[in-house]
Amino acid sequence: MVNIPSTMKISLRALKANKMRSSLTMLGIIIGVGAVITMLAVGTGARQEIAEQISSVGSNLLMILPGATTAGGVRMGAGTQSTLSMADAEAIKKECLAVSYVAPSHGGVAQVVYGNQNWSTGITGTTPDILYVREWYLSAGRPFTEQDVKSATKVCLLGQTVVDNLFGDINPVGKIIRIKNVPFTVLGTLESKGQSPTGQDQDDTIYIPVTTSQKKLFGTPFHGMVRIIMVKAKSTEDLNTAEKQITELLRQRHHIGQKQENDFTVRNLTQMMKVEEQSTKVMTLLLGIIASVSLLVGGIGIMNIMLVSVTERTREIGIRMAVGAKTWDIRLQFIIEALTLSLSGGFIGIVIGISSSEILSTVAGWTTIISLFSVILAFCFSALVGIFFGFYPAYKASLLNPVEALRYE
Amino acid sequence: MALIEASAVTKVYQLGDIVVNALCTISLSIEKGEFIAIMGPSGSGKSTFMNILGCLDKPTKGRYLLEGIDVSNLNRDELANIRNKKIGFVFQGFNLLQRTSALENVELPMLYNGVSAEERRQKAAAALRAVGLEGRQNHYSTQLSGGEQQRVAIARALVNGAPIILADEPTGNLDTKTSTEIMRLLKKLNTESNITVILVTHETDIAAYSRRVIKFLDGCIVSDEHIS
Ligand SMILES: Nc1ncnc2c1ncn2[C@@H]1O[C@H](COP(=O)(O)OP(=O)(O)O)[C@@H](O)[C@H]1O
Ligand SMILES: [Mg+2]
């Protein structure tokens, strides 16, 4: 039976006898663990940021824009020639089976007035589907309906920024505002969504029925013209199918010949972000690996010092063996010594890792997330390093020949 | 049954092509309570024999019974256990732990046999008292004279109640006066506590404390005399 408390006392005393050496050895682990924690915090933060962007834009989203895409992905003549119409949107909804919601949009920037307050903002004419496509809920009131779209009713939904600027503390639902001097009834208000991935204020917007926008506010070069059609696929797996179905349908509707280029572009927003998310994942992994290598180097430092320590203390080991220390008494003594180095290094490393993550987020403005998991992982990892790199020196010590160890100078 | 029964024990060291016959067919029996001096020139195999008696080393050939147990067949940990319970070592160079107090040095053998911390402290203090060092419990080995260090080592050898003390040139590093003190102490332990003492020495006046003198030459016993 190994006497653990006494063995621990012996190990701690040996470490205290060489304070400078012990702290320098610990430094390797401190830097390693600190780096692992910081890198994981930065990586997790970056991924979280992208995940938030995806969910703020809406998932499983396709965007149909007028104009062709060149091989390099640059859209030519964007917005100059309008090729999309309400009829296209209706056809997509009816015929593309992989699609669940379709929201065409048409609009512009206009002055909005309530009482003596006025505010200039983007007006988007669209269909009720927009709320499902963007996964955007109302904070008050009710949405407009298909009936409102059919009869081009003068009703609107206000984004939170517009509410703040026009109404302040007043409840806007049911009030009349003037857009380009045309009176609109406020049906409801949209929940706050914050900034878009590109840094725009998504709440600075007003939704109105698409037909109202076309007929009463901004006009169209041809009947039913829309600027963009946003589409939500039934599921992530359906995204590619939906893209194919839409392309096929629109080529047919726009009478585009076999060799001709599309006069529209389908953009898979979700996929673009997924790609970005994937590359962040790879980056996190790389950072983690680099940090782990420094932890490994710290572990090798421990092993190195432990080997020196075993050699220096050969005679001590001989004395212990002579008075009855068994194999595991000797082994544990050195393993506990290595473990103490690595665990206290790990503990300080965790503190330093957490503080440097905090500094990165306050000074550099990076999103950093310290998960309990990464802290536990780093701690277990440093314990493992201690046991792994402490074992060989301990094993070596336990195999010493007592007679030779006692004679060692 | 004899306390120690060695029959045809040999020890051969192989250094590359060179074969060193450190011990050649030693047969010996030692009874409980004996006080034995082993003498002989340097390199005659005295330490080799002591290491085998103390279960620090195994014979190349032959049988060694300690209290009737055949030690030659035991593994490392079983040998460690025997050293812990049956054998107390006293070395020429004292072999105390550095940066460790006298009391803790004496506690050392009890770390390896499950004695509680409180009992360890008490037994170690009692052993230090028995060797006349009650005031020096908290002194480090560097703060003790050679004779005092050797007393600490003897206390450490006693503390587990071992029936045998093996002392390889215990007075080799001490002056005549201190040597006499150490020998008196060993003699007292032998007569009062019936502890078997086996010591190696070059000096005849040290050997004079014993009741049996065994002389080694080139790995063989050349004489084995009882003194009355
Ligand atoms: N580990 C060893 N390897 C090889 N030869 C050894 C070893 N230990 C002792 N010897 C040899 O065995 C012989 C006896 O040594 P030892 O028992 O130490 O003599 P003593 O203690 O009587 O001076 C010597 O010739 C010595 O060189
Ligand atoms: Mg010798």
- Helix (H), strand (E) at residue A206: strand A205-209
Partners of B84 on chain A (C-beta within 8 Å) are 323-324
Pair type for strands A99-114 and A176-179: antiparallel
pLDDT digits (tens, 9 = 90+) for A40-67: 898 888 888 887 777 777 788 898 988 8
Highest mean pLDDT among A18-22, A265-269, B214-218: B214-218
Q: How confident is the model at residue A69 (pLDDT cuts 50, 70, 90)?
A: low
Residue A66 and residue A78 in contact, taking contact as beta carbons nearer than 8 Å:
yes
Determine the pLDDT at residue A71.
Answer: 46
pLDDT digits (tens, 9 = 90+) for A304-328: 999 999 999 999 999 999 999 999 9
| β-bridge mates for residue B11, sequence order | B23
Q: How confident is the model at residue A1 (pLDDT cuts 50, 70, 90)?
A: low
Residue A33 and residue A345 in contact, taking contact as beta carbons nearer than 8 Å:
yes
Determine the pLDDT at residue A184.
Answer: 94
Q: Is B219 helix (H, G, I), strand (E, B) or coil?
A: coil
Count of CB atoms within 10 A of residue B117's CB?
Answer: 14
Residue A155 and residue A210 in contact, taking contact as beta carbons nearer than 8 Å:
no
What CATH number has the domain spanning B4-226? Answer: 3.40.50.300
Pair type for strands B87-90 and B164-168: parallel
The arithmetic mean of pLDDT across residues A175-200, rounded, is 88
Determine the pLDDT at residue A81.
Answer: 61
Only one residue has tokens 């408390």, namely: A5
| CA–CA min distance B117, chain A (Å) | 9
Residue A77 and residue A65 in contact, taking contact as beta carbons nearer than 8 Å:
no
Distance from the first to the final alpha carbon of chain B:
23
A370 backbone dihedrals φ, ψ, rounded to 5°: -95, 110
Report which DSSP code applies to A197.
T
d(CA A400, CA A227): 83
Count of CB atoms within 10 A of residue A327's CB?
Answer: 18
Q: Is B45 in the pocket of ligand 1 (CB under 6 A)?
A: yes
**CA-CA-CA-CA dihedral for A344, A320, B99, B168, to nearest 10:** -170
Q: Does B114 contact chain A (CB < 8 Å)?
A: yes
Determine the pLDDT at residue B200.
Answer: 97
Crossing angle (nearest 10°) for helices B76-86 and A314-322: 70
Query: What are the structure tokens assigned to B90, written together?
Result: 């006293």
d(CA A168, CA A163): 7
Query: What are the structure tokens assigned to A145, written together?
Result: 């309906």
Show me where the domains of chain B are located: 4-226
Residue B196 and residue B30 in contact, taking contact as beta carbons nearer than 8 Å:
yes
Query: What are the structure tokens assigned to A186, written together?
Result: 């406020």
Cβ neighbors of A315 (< 8 A, separation 6 or more) are: A405, A406, A408, A409, B95
d(CA B94, CA B84): 17
Residue B63 and residue B7 in contact, taking contact as beta carbons nearer than 8 Å:
yes
Determine the pLDDT at residue A78.
Answer: 47
Q: In which residue ranges of chain B is pLDDT below 50? A: none
A100 backbone dihedrals φ, ψ, rounded to 5°: -105, -40
Cβ neighbors of A74 (< 8 A, separation 6 or more) are: none
Atom of ligand 1 nearest to the CA of B46: 22
ipTM score above 0.90: yes
Chain B residue closest in CA terms to A327: B77
Nearest residue by C-alpha to atom 21 in ligand 1: B47
Q: Is A320 helix (H, G, I), strand (E, B) or coil?
A: helix
Helices (H), chain B: 46-53, 76-86, 102-111, 117-130, 146-158, 176-193, 204-207
CB distance B111–A5 less than 8 Å?
no
Distances (CA, A) of A336 to A11, A232, A324, A329, B132: 6, 59, 19, 11, 36
Q: Is A28 helix (H, G, I), strand (E, B) or coil?
A: helix
Determine the pLDDT at residue A61.
Answer: 87
Report which DSSP code applies to A201.
B
Q: Which of B78, B81, B82, B108 is the best substitution to test chain A (most A C-beta atoms within 10 A)?
A: B108
Nearest to B112 among A316, A325, A401 (CB): A325
pLDDT digits (tens, 9 = 90+) for A339-377: 999 999 999 999 999 999 999 999 988 888 898 988 998
**Rounded distance from Cα B107 to ligand 2 centre (Å):** 27
Only one residue has tokens 């015929």, namely: A95
Nearest residue by C-alpha to atom 10 in ligand 1: B22
The arithmetic mean of pLDDT across residues A4-11, rounded, is 83
Q: Does B89 contact chain A (CB < 8 Å)?
A: yes
Average pLDDT, chain A: 88
**CA-CA-CA-CA dihedral for B203, B204, B205, B211, to nearest 10:** 120
Determine the pLDDT at residue A261.
Answer: 83
pTM of the model: 0.75
